Amino acid sequence: MGAHAIDGIINLNKPQGRTSFQMVALVRKLSAVRKVGHSGTLDPDATGVLPVLLGRATRLASFITDLPKTYRAVVEFGSATTTYDSSGEVTESGDASSLTSDRIETALHSFRGPIEQIPPMYSAIKHQGRALYHLARAGEEIARKPRRVNIYRLEVIDWARPLLTIEVECSKGTYIRSLAHDLGQLVGCGAHLKELIRTRSGPFHIEHAVSLAELEEAFRSGDWRRFVYPPDHALSHLEAIAVDAAGEQEVRYGKPLAMEVQTATEGEYRRVHSTEGRFLGIVRFDAQAGLWRPKIVFA
């Protein structure tokens, strides 16, 4: 199989000090696969699960990014920074000596569930076509609109003043840096994110993630494909539809499927497989027409 025919996902454990873009560029170079992308940017200082998408799997990026993510974070109380993490300059200092676990737990309660979160200035969010971090480096401060995010789970793992270790399960678009900063503002002594590990992104877990060193060695030895998951591994959260040979042809040519599914709702996505188990793509339900319209075709 030629490199150009590789479609799939590598569950990479991104090392500290490397950008998500650098990881994509490296995999593109080593694999000789032309189309390579990632799902869900990790800050350079953060480590952990970074799904790297190869070939036609890049078309699934939004479906993976939309899935919940889990992080383990270390928050340091006593100082807030420009970037909301330890790479920034200190903007304010406070006394964390009287901070108790009970006070922290009370404060954390207000961050659980659906919340409005203001993204940090040092982020890739665009303002009039420019990333906010470019403006921040130029000394500009732009008013950011709060974003609706969801914190499904927020647990204290360890408290050793002034360091708090938490585990966060959240929706896409959640900034753990903002969570750390806002927590520090709420308890009144300032805080920033000291350490961040993404332990899960959708179906990809850190326990099964390949380290950069392991992956580079696998490229040298030529058996790197063993680390590539099939594209539909990332879509296990979608219900599956099986089609016969005639249905497979319709999907291949982008034609809608007329299949009665009692539980289907408007706009719902499902993955499509042949009766032999081949992944054919993703369809979206058009309730008015009663048809499943192909959204992404892999055939």
How do residues 224-272 score in pLDDT, each as one tens digit?
999 999 999 999 999 999 999 999 999 999 999 987 776 788 999 999 9
Domain boundary among 143, 178, 195: 195
Residue 43 a catalytic site member: yes
pLDDT score, position 274? 93
**Section 123-138 average pLDDT:** 80
- Kindly tell me if the per-residue pLDDT of 3 is higher than 60: no
pLDDT score, position 66? 92
Q: Does one domain contain both 102 and 171? A: yes
Q: Does one domain contain both 220 and 164? A: no
Structural contact between residues 172 and 66, judged by C-beta atoms closer than 8 angstroms? yes
Token pair recorded at residue 261? 């599914």
Q: Does one domain contain both 112 and 163? A: yes
Q: Does one domain contain both 33 and 125? A: no
| Structural domain of 249 | 238-297
pLDDT score, position 273? 95
Residue 299: band (very low, low, confident or very high) from pLDDT cuts 50, 70, 90: low
Q: Does one domain contain both 96 and 174? A: yes
pLDDT score, position 89? 93
DSSP class of 257? B
Rounded to whole angstroms, the Cα distance separating 190 from 188 reads: 6
**Section 145-166 average pLDDT:** 97
Q: Does one domain contain both 78 and 191? A: yes
Q: Does one domain contain both 97 and 157? A: yes
Domain harbouring 249, CATH code = 2.30.130.10
Q: Does one domain contain both 149 and 227? A: no
DSSP class of 198? E
With residues binned 3-state (H G I as helix, E B as strand, rest as coil), the percentages for the chain, rounded to 5, are: 30, 35, 35
Domain harbouring 218, CATH code = 3.30.2350.10
For the chain, the straight-line distance linking the first and the last C-alpha, in angstroms and rounded, comes to 17
Q: Does one domain contain both 167 and 81? A: yes
Q: Please list the residues that pair with 283 across neighbouring strands.
A: 270, 294
Rounded to whole angstroms, the Cα distance separating 93 from 250 reads: 63
Alpha helices in the chain (DSSP H): 20-31, 61-65, 101-109, 132-137, 176-187, 212-221, 245-252
Rounded to whole angstroms, the Cα distance separating 172 from 161 reads: 30
The domain total for the chain is: 3
Structural contact between residues 236 and 282, judged by C-beta atoms closer than 8 angstroms? no
Q: Does one domain contain both 85 and 148? A: yes
Q: Which of 43, 85, 182, 232 is catalytic?
A: 43
pLDDT score, position 100? 96
Dihedral, CA of residue 91, residue 95, residue 97 and residue 99, to nearest 10: -80
Residues near 21 by Cβ (< 8 Å), separated by ≥ 6? Answer: none
Give residue for tokens 């005639």: 246
Q: Does one domain contain both 279 and 131? A: no
Domain boundary among 195, 215, 247: 195
